[in-house]
A and B are shown apart, each in its own frame.
Chain A
Amino acid sequence: MSHTYNFAYLDEQSKKMIRRSVLKAMAIPGFQVPFGGREMPLPYGWGTGGIQLTASLLGKEDVLKVIDQGSDDTVNAVSIKDFFRKTAGIRITENTPEATLIQTRHRIPETPLKQGQIMVYQVPIPEPLQFIEPRRPETLKMHAFEEYGAMYVKLYEDISKHDRIVTAFDYPALVHGRYIMSPSPIPKFDNPKLHQSPAIHIFGAGREKRIYAVPPYTDVISLDFEDYPFELETWEESCAICGSGTSFLDEIITDDKGSRLFVCSDTEYCRKNGKKEA
């Protein structure tokens, strides 16, 4: 079927337009660049932003990895991989170091990223200030004038209600000392992986039609208070499959009597780590 579509589905003009937005986003780290979002053959909320980015960035030599909630083989990941296998005919992998482009929803792989790799994120809500200030023209000004006090109000409310910052995903971060960015729904566990990362991180919001980026070796600092510093989530358990004590764990309920298992959310890392231990 691939002959009926242009390479990687999108037409070349659209790709060009998206690449221009990507370049601008790379030049202004953390700044949300508007782009002319195209209709894609999947519904909003399923990764239309990420898939447009991937389509515009893919070359024939690229090796693609797609993860969904850390997993390589859930419906969303499998479908997107299928889509690009059909429309671009490129090589697909699950092996993180081998991939040149990784489209993700919710996770950054546990295996450290390296220079030359591109992470593409599917973003539902690109505007970190939206929850505190619903007016778009106002949030634009707040970004432009670096008026970020309101962002701390959200963290303040967390502490006053729960005695700690309970924001666990989409945790706001300051990029390159200038723009506050919503790092898509990755767990805050992954926020430190963005800081001074050698890889390129590009975020695409399809419904909101915004692209923003973290270029390689850029500061990404998670917001916090002096007396309530940014903390990572920790688990008392280790992964039930591979035994890792350092990766992000998912809780899996195994029966209706309350039995549960904790396993790595990054399935590829878990598989490799398990082999190493065995």
Chain B
Amino acid sequence: MTYMPGEKPYPLLSVRNLSKFYGKTMGCHEISFELGKGEVIGIVGESGSGKSTLLKCIAGRLTTTNGSIFFNSSYGFIDLCRTDEMLLRKIIRSETGFVTQNSVEGLRMTVSAGGNIGERLMAGGMRHYGQIRKIARQWLETVEIDAKRMDDLPSTFSGGMQQRLQIAANLVTDPRIILMDEPTSGLDVSVQARLIDVLRKLVARLSLSMILVTHDLAVARLLSHRLYVMKDGRIVESGLSDQILDDPREPYTQLLVSSILKP
């Protein structure tokens, strides 16, 4: 990697030599990359290639087997793999966002939409109901959910709305990095298009830094600046999105790109 300890300016995120094993089974192995502020990178690859494992390690949801994840947090440039749990949880909660493929995991389904957005605010110490409501309403509008639905349970929302709600609930504390795990899978194409629209707007307006894990190359092309292609737990190719998708070098990437149906 280009980054050396002590070198400035720090990137937002520097993953170095990261490995995760489930017993003897490899999840991902010797992954290294960097993410700058305001950058969106996509991680693509087929099911089982280790992309979700990698993302969950960065999100602190899995403990890593080896390697480092340096994150430029408000507590300094620290290795998330070697941070004590209390601080790690604080950073994860307030400075990173994690949007899951399955919104049941990312939302509290028995708590209203407003409550879901408000949770991070309340965790951060906000104790003014009116203010929490106001911020929640603004975020619902930002992700194009009718503010009238604020007191409804997410279980009454459509799949696309649930995903947008998840995004709002994550962005409300203005996190430094957003991690997305297959945010568009399981949605039909028109709903996907709307979600991608919302995401593109947010990325442009808030200059979000984001890691997007997806098996959908079209989504990856639309959202990400750079791409990493994973296969069997390792990164096999990386580069600018257009470069990778239009002129793939590795045989596996060529296969991946040629597998897309063209209507």
Asked if A156 is at the interface (CB within 8 A of a chain B CB), the reply is yes
B86–A156 CB distance below 8 A: no
A226 to B129, CA, bound (A): 7
Q: Is B24 an interface residue (CB 8 A)?
A: no
Q: Please tell me if A5 contacts chain B, counting CB pairs below 8 Å.
A: no
Docked complex Cα distance between A229 and B138 (Å): 25
**B151–A228 contact, CB under 8 A?**
no
Contact B85 A160 (CB under 8 A): no
A163 to chain B minimum Cβ distance, whole angstroms, is 10
Whether A153 contacts B127 in the complex (CB less than 8 A), given A132-B108, A147-B89, A161-B151, comes out as no
Q: Does B112 contact A (CB under 8 A)?
A: yes
The interface on chain B, measured as residues whose beta carbon lies within 8 A of the other chain's beta carbons, has a size of 25
In whole angstroms, what is the CA distance A153 to B126 when docked? 11
User: Contacts of A159 on B, CB cut-off 8 Å?
Assistant: 129
Mark A243-259 against chain B: 1 for CB-CB distance below 8 A, else 0.
Answer: 00000000000000000
Q: Which of A202-234 contact B (CB under 8 A)?
A: 224-228
Q: Which residues of chain A in 64-101 are interfacial with respect to chain B, using CB atoms and an 8 Å cutoff? A: none
For chain B, what secondary structure do more than half of its interface residues adopt (helix, strand, loop), or is it mixed? helix
Separation of A144 and B129 alpha carbons in the complex (Å): 26
Q: Is the CB of A153 within 8 A of B119?
A: yes
Collect the chain A residues with CB atoms within 8 Å of residue B239's CB.
none
Contacts of A148 on B, CB cut-off 8 Å?
A: 123
The CA of A157 and the CA of B121, in the complex, are separated in Å by 14
Interchain CA distance A152-B127 in the complex, whole Å: 8
Measured between beta carbons, the chain A residues less than 8 angstroms from B128 are: 225-227
Task: List chain B residues, Cβ under 8 A from A147.
Answer: 89, 93, 123
Contacts of B50 in A (CB 8 A): none
Fill in one digit per residue for A151-185: 1 if any B CB lies within 8 Å of its CB, else 0.
01100110111000000000000000000000000
Question: How far, in whole Å, are A147 and B88 apart by their CA atoms in the complex?
Answer: 12
Instruction: Please measure, in the bound complex, the distance between the C-alpha atom of A117 and the C-alpha atom of B151, giving whole angstroms.
Output: 46
| Interchain CB contact (< 8 A) of B85 among A145, A226, A227 | A145
Cβ < 8 Å to A, chain B residues 118-155: 118-124, 127-130, 132-133, 150-151
Question: Which of B112, B114, B122, B133 is within 8 Å of A149, CB to CB?
Answer: B122
Query: A225–B111 Cα gap in the complex (Å)?
Result: 18
Since A141-B85, A145-B86, A147-B93 are in contact, a sample of 17 more A-B pairs with Cβ atoms closer than 8 Å, ordered by chain A residue number, is A132-B108, A147-B89, A147-B123, A149-B120, A149-B121, A149-B123, A153-B115, A153-B118, A153-B119, A156-B132, A157-B111, A157-B115, A160-B112, A160-B115, A160-B151, A161-B112, A161-B151
Q: Which B residues lie at the A interface, using CB under 8 A? A: 85-86, 89-90, 93, 108, 111-112, 114-115, 118-124, 127-130, 132-133, 150-151
Can you report 30 A-B residue pairs in the complex whose CB atoms are below 8 A from each other? Answer: A132-B108, A132-B111, A141-B85, A145-B86, A145-B90, A147-B123, A148-B123, A149-B120, A149-B121, A149-B123, A150-B119, A150-B123, A153-B108, A153-B115, A153-B118, A153-B122, A156-B118, A156-B122, A157-B111, A157-B115, A160-B114, A160-B150, A160-B151, A161-B151, A226-B127, A226-B129, A227-B128, A227-B129, A227-B130, A228-B129
